[in-house]
Amino acid sequence: NVRTSITDDRGAWRVNLRALPAGGPHELEVSDGGDVLRFEDILIGDVWICSGQSNMEMHLRPGPDAVYNAEEEVASANYPNIRLLSIPRTARFEPQREFESEGWKICSPESVITFSAAGYFFGRELHQHLEVPIGLINCSKGASPAEAWTRAEALHTLPAFRQVIEEMPAKVAESRRL
């Protein structure tokens, strides 16, 4: 039971909880003294970011370029203590505090089919050996150059990237109009 939180001038808030043992499901109730928000089916465990290029983006979906035994892997992907979160592919020039998504999904044949195959196999292996809930966040983008994952300020210091960084906002704006 926590009765205090930290709130900043933008209204963002954070609650520090004591360390909890891995497991669940748990319930979380948040109240400002009037309104109450209730979150159910919360797990305590490890969370991993699955990020990178095409090898991390490749889905588990069966097809001509599918992973080995894709149909069997999808059919057996029933892991309620593995949760999947996919971050939409968007171009941004500043770090984002918020994003639109479908939220956390329980790992099932339906949810895993469009998730990162490498991320899923990694998370499944961890879950089976550590016996703790695993959260996987997929924010991969195939065919992206390594520089796309680097802050513009850092790239701007390199002469070879100065012009590219300066031209990028206009190129992204143009691509959004098409």
pTM of the model: 0.80
CA-based Rg of the chain, rounded to a whole angstrom? Answer: 20
| SS3 label, residue 93 | coil
Cβ-in-10-Å burial (0-12, 13-18, 19+) of 107 comes to buried
pLDDT digits 0-9 by tens, 47-106: 999 998 888 889 988 888 788 999 999 999 999 999 999 998 876 767 777 888 999 999
